[in-house]
């Protein structure tokens, strides 16, 4: 991808968060300035910034920007703003983690107004720097699981567009390209919001990686034909038992991969692992408007107005369907109640 393209950053004047509006890709590259809580909420909810790591970085920067605007009693208002941002997308744990880190930082430094903003700036910068380092480490571990020439199936988008650099699920492919690997990637379109078609295909194509866009429903056939050697996905939350919430359709990929004996790898930073969540049954699944199914990317609606829709944004992939969870600290394997604790001490 061109170095001129960035996902999220703090404005030079530190009075706004600047993001790439991913709802306009691949046809238009446009950046937005987010200066208010309402603008930050809308950008996260409407997926202008998306991907768990990028959302976390955006939230960290956003809380710093909002902190500078508070004129009354600081901590109560800072808590209120944090809760408001978290409500924009409750499934993505990076969002709540970033907000909670900023609130904790504020509480620890609230007695010194001059130190407060400096500490918050350092904290949101650390959230971004940690994401960069984590994605690089995840990508390094991922390269140990594949070989040159492998066919890789992706679902949704978990590359640099979903983070700050490299990303999680696509990071291995991008790093491998830099080192001379030649992967053949099959990108699920990922209905209904088409993150695979609009984002993954865009990102890999610009990186010079061989990518073929497919309908979600074609993945099983490609597996049977022997064209897929591994499946790569990111995630928005991992429960303590290894159940994983990711974009709707991920579980179907995992079930098909299990049937065909193909490894199914989940890539995630430690910030996505929620040890307070016992299993996938405890993960809140965001439901979105049916218009995303019926009309969002169509010139005319494809179903009648009175037709009901069920549009969950995520599904939960059972831990036993996951071959390995790749993190910045190493590779965890089933049973994850043991391996994740060994890596992270949860």
Which are the catalytic amino acids?
Answer: 236
* Number of other residues whose CB lies within 10 A of the CB of residue 177: 16
60 torsion bin: left (phi>0), alpha (psi -120 to 50), beta (else): alpha
* Backbone dihedral angles phi then psi of residue 121, each to the nearest 5 degrees: -60, -45
CA torsion sign for 193, 159, 25, 126 is positive
Determine if residue 243 is left, alpha or beta; phi over 0 gives left, psi from -120 to 50 gives alpha, anything else beta.
beta
Distance CA 334, CA 188 (A): 26
On whether the CB atoms of residues 286 and 264 are closer than 8 A, the answer is no
Helix 74-86 to helix 37-45 angle (10° resolution) is: 20
């Amino acid at each position: 991808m061109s170095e001129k393209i960035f996902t999220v950053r703090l404005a030079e004047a530190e009075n706004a968060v600047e993001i790439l509006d991913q709802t306009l890709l691949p046809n238009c590259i446009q950046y937005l300035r987010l200066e208010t809580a309402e603008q930050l909420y809308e950008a996260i909810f409407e997926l202008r910034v998306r991907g768990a790591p990028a959302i976390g970085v955006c939230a960290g920067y956003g809380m710093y920007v909002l902190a500078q605007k508070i004129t009354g009693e600081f901590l109560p208002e800072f808590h209120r703003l944090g809760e408001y941002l978290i409500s924009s997308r409750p499934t993505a744990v990076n969002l709540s983690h970033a907000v909670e880190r900023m609130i904790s930082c504020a509480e620890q430094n609230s007695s010194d107004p001059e130190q407060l903003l400096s500490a918050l700036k350092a904290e949101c910068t650390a959230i971004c720097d940690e994401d960069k380092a984590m994605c690089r480490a995840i990508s390094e571990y991922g390269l140990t699981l594949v070989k040159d020439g492998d066919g890789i199936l992706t679902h949704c988008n978990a590359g640099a567009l979903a983070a700050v650099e490299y990303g999680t699920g696509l990071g291995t492919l991008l790093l491998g390209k830099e080192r001379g690997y030649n992967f053949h990637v099959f990108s699920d379109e990922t209905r209904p919001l088409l993150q695979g078609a609009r984002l993954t295909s865009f990102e890999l194509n610009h990186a010079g990686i061989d990518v073929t866009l497919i309908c979600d429903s074609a993945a099983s056939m490609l597996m049977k034909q022997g064209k897929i050697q591994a499946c790569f996905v990111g995630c928005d939350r991992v429960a303590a038992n290894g159940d994983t919430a990711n974009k709707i359709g991920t579980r179907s990929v995992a079930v098909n991969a299990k049937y065909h004996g193909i490894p199914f790898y989940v890539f995630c930073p430690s910030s996505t692992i929620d040890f307070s969540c016992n299993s996938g049954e405890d993960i809140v699944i965001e439901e979105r408007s049916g218009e995303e199914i019926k009309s969002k990317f169509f010139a005319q609606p494809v179903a009648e107005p009175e037709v009901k829709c069920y549009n969950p944004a995520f599904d939960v992939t059972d831990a036993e369907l996951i071959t390995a969870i790749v993190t910045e600290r190493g590779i965890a394997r089933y049973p994850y109640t043991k391996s994740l604790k060994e890596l992270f001490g949860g």
